[in-house]
Amino acid sequence: MFAVLFMKEMDPFYQNISSFPTVIFTIIFVLMLLYWVIAVLGLVDIGFLDFGLPEVEGSTETVNVLAGLFLKFGLNGVPVTVVLTLVSMFGWLISYYADHYLLMPYTSGVVEFLLGGVVLFVSLLLSALISAQVIKPLRKLFNEATTTNSSKILGQTLVVKTLRVDAGFGEAHLNDGGAGLVLKVRANGEEKFKKGDRVVAYEYLKDKNVYRVISEDEFLGNS
């Protein structure tokens, strides 16, 4: 499959996705697709890359810069993984067609590199603007999920969604009678739960937006 990338007369599609600047978006987009696959399998939290875009004060300088840029372009209010997926997808599409129609005649040299730099900048800018428009309706959904009255969740039975739940990792699903909610949960000390286990939320940590959970049997006094 990958041999085509090393052929002298490469297929135009493979040539475009592996040439500068499209290759940058190709790599990021593929990584994000792989991320969503392992997220569905329950190996990572959906928001594990989230560095708190609305709250940039007190974070590292690099995070402050990134958060500031995200806020400036209206890319806040949703997990960073969603932002990266959208920006890389739209950036890939824009860069691909720009590469195909504008850069194809220039196969080497300084001109190709300079034009590629311009295409990269324009693709990033346009993809950020387009992503911001897509994020607008999504932001409300994520805000509703994070601002759900915690008192209504405490005491409710959740089903572990990730492969494990421990003191530093885990998500669980709450059947709220609708589409359901996916909540970040944490176990106590060395306690661990596996996917499919039934747990009960008994404490909400507002600063971390996570719920501490214990097993349903322990909550009901059956253990």
Answer for the pair 73, 129: CB distance below 8 angstroms, yes or no.
yes
157-181 per-position pLDDT tens digit: 999 998 889 998 888 988 877 667 8
pLDDT of residue 124 exceeding 80, the answer is: yes
Answer for the pair 30, 88: CB distance below 8 angstroms, yes or no.
no
What b/e string do you get for 175-198 counting C-beta neighbours within 10 Å, with b at 16 or more? eeeeeebbbbbbbeeeeebebebe
Identify the band that residue 20 occupies on the pLDDT scale cut at 50, 70 and 90: confident
d(CA 119, CA 29): 17
Residue 206 region by backbone torsions, left for phi larger than 0, else alpha for psi between -120 and 50, else beta: alpha
Model confidence, pTM: 0.65
48-105 per-position pLDDT tens digit: 555 444 444 444 455 555 666 777 778 877 888 889 999 999 999 999 998 888 776 6
